[in-house]
Structure 1
Amino acid sequence: MTDLESVPGRAPEVRERRLAIPDHLSPFQVLGENDQALAALEDVVPDTDVHVRGHQVTLRGTEEALRRSEHIIRSLIEMAAKGQGVTAEAVQRAAALYGDDRLGGERIEKVLSQAVLSSRGRTIRPKTLGQKTYIDAIEENTITFGIGPAGTGKTYLAVAVAVQHLLAKRINRIILTRPAVEAGERLGFLPGTLNEKIDPYLRPLYDALHDMLDPESIPRLMGAGTIEVAPLAYMRGRTLNDAFIILDEAQNTTPEQMKMFLTRLGFNSTMVVTGDVTQVDLPGGQRSGLRVVEQVLSGVEDIAFCRLSSRDVVRHRLVSDIVEAYGRWEVGPGGNRESRRRGGPSPSGPRGA
């Protein structure tokens, strides 16, 4: 129950609100180890003072700060009640969701408590509303496009859903692929065996798998064909049934390659295509298949396009700042996004040597 009252001796706009932690939960479960959630709350809502005595939490601050703090704490209580560990990061995510205009009627704790995969002693969950929307789209559609900047979890979450489907026996195999654009897909001109040639381009996909599966089981699964990691060129001429297929770095496909990939779809299969249209590395000004495909397939039933943004970045906080800064630079005063991305002249003119 909430008790709202003016605080004697304080400015009129400063209010006090009291919340009770349910008896079946300990303050430790809700506020985290060493009250780390408490400290994080005071960081993300600096206009609030938080005091805890037993199961009672007392908040003091402006009305808006109190509304925000109460909403976050109630979300933490719901998360703790579902057995989810509460951390400083959870508080930061809840605070970010509180101000996310995409939230609508969605409950914060529902976003942060959704489990995608539990494996190797950890649970992978969406950490932003955009990530939850993306995961829901993958589960509800045969083909999903995840488009957004670095650090938004496009590939990682897609691999997590794929592994979950494999463990649940909903599919028989996982196929992970990337265009080897740095080599122009002319892998025969590179020294070494096939695996040595393609490994640098596919390493991020291996990294995601190692986070989710016992590393010792991965070679066995790959040897049996249950997991396949290969360059996009190796998809040509195939029909992929009973599979979860992920195309990563899709901004570096041509429209022809994108069409080739999408038409590999077989029965009882799911496809996820991920990429960042601001990071196209195609040579000679070629069009990106990822940019073209939305114009071609937008509105087609059972195909979803999910756009993630800097608000969905879950790496180091500086990654989000960097993404936003480059976004402003690319469309800066007098700037042309394509010209600036390709290294054209800046609005201020050429720089001195």
Structure 2
Amino acid sequence: MPPSDPSSAPSVAPESLERTIEFSDNRLLIELCGEYDRNLAQVEQLVSVQINRRGNILAILGEARDRAAEVLQGLYERLEQGKQVEPGDIDAAVRMGGSAAGTGVRDGDQIEMFKGGTLEIGTRKKTVEPRTKAQQDYVRALYDNELAFGIGPAGTGKTYIAVAVAVNQMMSGHVDKIILSRPAVEAGERLGFLPGDMKDKVDPYMQPLYDALNDFLPGKQLAKLIEEKTIEIAPLAFMRGRTLSNAYVVLDEAQNATSMQMKMFLTRLGQGSRMVITGDRTQVDLPRGVTSGLSDAERILKDVPGIGFNYFTAKDVVRHHMVAKIIQAYDKDGPVG
């Protein structure tokens, strides 16, 4: 009997490369899969596996099957807690469960958010969850310290989380008002003379702060709070001479404050207030030769008790997963400019 031709045999994945997970609640499984299985497709793409649905069982094929199973089980637990699963949650779950923004670096301690007790910030419109270990530490620092710094690249949630905590603290009566500020520095381009009154001229610089507030407060309530000056959004230059008492104060884009401006701002802290400084040392838009006040403050205040410093990296990016890859590529290439 002639030997069979191995090339004619069908290609079958080894049984050892398949892992199956059974889910008891079919309704939640439908939510887990997403419309037209788009959630499964996102996991397949991010983890490089193949996922097949067989009734209430998901069969995972590929070398990263265990990692994909961990992600899917974590997302299912999230649904069991009554929370939604959105594309950003899937991306965060993949990074928490295994790779750090596509680098293949294991970071198992970050799976905590999907494995039990959650750390949450309640606001009028939504509940905010820190999605990485660095974000969890940052949230704790914001509640534990009267002055805290959040330093790291764009997209890591530094400002978003700070504004969420500010809204939470105002809602719970711990502070009477919120003050959000940024240096009005152009990002490498001249915008010329802007039309309108002072508010019209500075609002374009402040728009990211308005965007964050709109995520946490209903539009009519936010407009009323701004009209009553319970919430203030103002350029850094407007802070001079003020004492900010019983307020939650956030300085965003602090890398664009000069050393003198930073000292001025930090010394505005009054009784009953809390202050958060956020910035990215790689995106300084100050004129050449002008020292960033953020770098100075970091150097001068690093050993002062009661001041928290929190640092973020590309693996903490919670925007589109491509942002983390872009940041890593630029970091590898060296300083810009």
TM-score tier after normalising by the smaller chain length: 0.7 to 0.9
Partner of 1:66: 65
Residue type matched to 2:138 in 1?
A: Y
Structure 1 distance, partners of 2:14, 2:90, is 28
How far did residue 246 of structure 1 move? 0.3
The 8 Å contact of residues 171 and 269 in structure 1, kept in 2 or not, is answered as yes
The 8 Å contact of residues 123 and 217 in structure 2, kept in 1 or not, is answered as no
Structure 1 distance, partners of 2:182, 2:127, is 26
Q: Deviations over 1:62-106 (max 9, x none)?
A: 3xx232122112211221111111234423221111224554375
Structure 2 distance, partners of 1:12, 1:110, is 30
| Counterpart selection for 2:39 from 29, 37, 40 | 37
How far did residue 251 of structure 1 move? 0.5
The 8 Å contact of residues 184 and 235 in structure 2, kept in 1 or not, is answered as yes
TM-score by length of 2: 0.83
Structure 2 distance, partners of 1:33, 1:118, is 28
Structure 2 distance, partners of 1:105, 1:92, is 13
Closer/same/farther in 2, CA of residues 319 and 19 from structure 1, 3 Å limit: closer
Structure 2 distance, partners of 1:246, 1:128, is 21
The 8 Å contact of residues 25 and 80 in structure 1, kept in 2 or not, is answered as no
Structure 1 distance, partners of 2:92, 2:209, is 26
RMSD: 2.8
Structure 2 distance, partners of 1:160, 1:280, is 25
How far did residue 300 of structure 1 move? 2.4
| Counterpart selection for 2:114 from 86, 109, 116 | 109
Structure 2 distance, partners of 1:289, 1:75, is 41
Closer/same/farther in 2, CA of residues 38 and 201 from structure 1, 3 Å limit: closer
| Counterpart selection for 2:255 from 243, 251, 274 | 251
Structure 2 distance, partners of 1:316, 1:193, is 36
Structure 2 distance, partners of 1:234, 1:111, is 44
Aligned with 2:278: secondary structure?
A: strand
Closer/same/farther in 2, CA of residues 168 and 273 from structure 1, 3 Å limit: same
The 8 Å contact of residues 75 and 90 in structure 2, kept in 1 or not, is answered as yes
Structure 2 distance, partners of 1:302, 1:237, is 24
Residue type matched to 1:74 in 2?
A: Q
Closer/same/farther in 2, CA of residues 126 and 61 from structure 1, 3 Å limit: same
Aligned with 2:308: secondary structure?
A: strand
Partner of 1:87: 86
Structure 1 distance, partners of 2:293, 2:327, is 22
How far did residue 15 of structure 1 move? 3.3
Residue type matched to 1:221 in 2?
A: L
Closer/same/farther in 2, CA of residues 263 and 34 from structure 1, 3 Å limit: same
How far did residue 129 of structure 1 move? 3.4
For 1:57-206, list aligned pairs within 5 A. 57-62=58-63, 65-99=64-98, 100=100, 101-104=106-109, 107-109=112-114, 114-120=119-125, 122-182=126-186, 192-206=196-210
How far did residue 20 of structure 1 move? 2.5
Partner of 1:18: 20
Structure 2 distance, partners of 1:250, 1:217, is 28
Structure 1: state its 5+ residue gaps: 1-8, 184-188, 331-336, 344-353
| Counterpart selection for 2:223 from 219, 223, 233 | 219
Closer/same/farther in 2, CA of residues 103 and 61 from structure 1, 3 Å limit: closer
Residue type matched to 1:58 in 2?
A: A
Closer/same/farther in 2, CA of residues 328 and 112 from structure 1, 3 Å limit: farther
Q: Does 1:55 align with 2:65?
A: no
Partner of 1:312: 316
What is the aligned-residue identity percentage? 44
Structure 2: state its 5+ residue gaps: 1-10, 101-105, 188-192
Aligned with 1:285: secondary structure?
A: coil
Q: Does 1:208 align with 2:208?
A: no
Closer/same/farther in 2, CA of residues 283 and 173 from structure 1, 3 Å limit: same
TM-score by length of 1: 0.79
Structure 1 distance, partners of 2:318, 2:110, is 23
Structure 2 distance, partners of 1:303, 1:24, is 48
Partner of 2:4: none
Q: Does 1:239 align with 2:238?
A: no
Partner of 1:325: 329
Aligned with 1:315: secondary structure?
A: coil
The 8 Å contact of residues 19 and 56 in structure 1, kept in 2 or not, is answered as yes
The 8 Å contact of residues 145 and 304 in structure 1, kept in 2 or not, is answered as yes
More displaced 10-residue stretch of structure 1: 263-272 or 9-18: 9-18
Structure 2 distance, partners of 1:322, 1:78, is 31
More displaced 10-residue stretch of structure 1: 156-165 or 34-43: 34-43
Closer/same/farther in 2, CA of residues 253 and 128 from structure 1, 3 Å limit: same
How far did residue 315 of structure 1 move? 2.6
The 8 Å contact of residues 255 and 288 in structure 1, kept in 2 or not, is answered as yes
Residue type matched to 1:165 in 2?
A: Q
